[in-house]
Amino acid sequence: QEELLSHGFDLFIFMCQLKANLKHASENLISALEGCQGYELFSSLLGTIEIDRGPSLERVYFRIPQVCRSLTEELKAEIVASINRGSPLAKLLSFLTCAEQYILQMEHDKRVTDWLYQAVPGSEVLLSWLPEKCQTPTVERYLRILRSYAIQHRHWVRSSLETFVLASAFAVNLLLLRYHSPGAER
């Protein structure tokens, strides 16, 4: 299935390049692209960067890696603020220097989130009851999963043993996230 998704994504990128590079793209091409069944899925996974090539700007399309789905707006702002913009070379070196730390944090968040999805039944249905800003994206996801689980399985959650287990797991994971995540302040 991943191979089919990859081929579909390659075709989607090709269509986006046609749309962007044809000055007078026909309405048929644009409506065909935007009307295709997987448009929303593919466009949510599409990343673009612009490369300055002297007098022109080159746009590059790529598939956003799955681990980057845990990149929050706060983390994006932190990355942008930390970049040295003295020269093009300084920008690149500055970005590469801090990129490893951010990648480790996103990989950690993804591993914890994947584990939670497997550990808590019904966790794929998330509710948006939390405020936008939480300590970490993983804590926010964990709270949403617990809330979803509690709503879907009210009769089980009411038992004191299960409530105790869930509360204990939540507390232990909060402590682990605070003290053992990559880049956490000690």
What is the per-residue DSSP string for the chain?
A: -HHHHHHHHHHHHHHHHHHHH-TT--HHHHHHHHHSTTHHHHHHTEEEEEEEETTEEEEEEEEPPGGGGG--HHHHHHHHHH---SSHHHHHHHHHHHHHHHHHHHHHHHHHHHHHHHHSTTTTS----S-S--S-HHHHHHHHHHHHHHHHTHHHHTSHHHHHHHHHHHHHHHHHHHHHSTT---
Q: How far is CA 99 from the centre of its chain?
A: 15
**pLDDT the model gives residue 133:** 45
17 vs 8: CA distance, rounded Å: 14
Between residues 65 and 69, the one the model is more confident about: 65
pTM of the model: 0.52
Q: Determine the pLDDT at residue 22.
A: 74
Give domain limits for the chain.
Answer: 1-64, 108-180
Q: What was the pLDDT predicted at 130?
A: 37
Q: What is the overall mean pLDDT for the chain? A: 72
**pLDDT band at residue 131 under the 50/70/90 scheme:** very low
Task: Report DSSP letters for 86-104, one per residue.
Answer: SSHHHHHHHHHHHHHHHHH
**From CA 4, how far away is CA 80, in angstroms rounded?**
34
- Report the C-alpha gap between 180 and 104 in whole angstroms: 12
pLDDT reading at 128 higher than 50? no
**Distance of alpha carbon 144 from alpha carbon 32, whole angstroms:** 37
Q: Residue range 176-184: average pLDDT?
A: 57
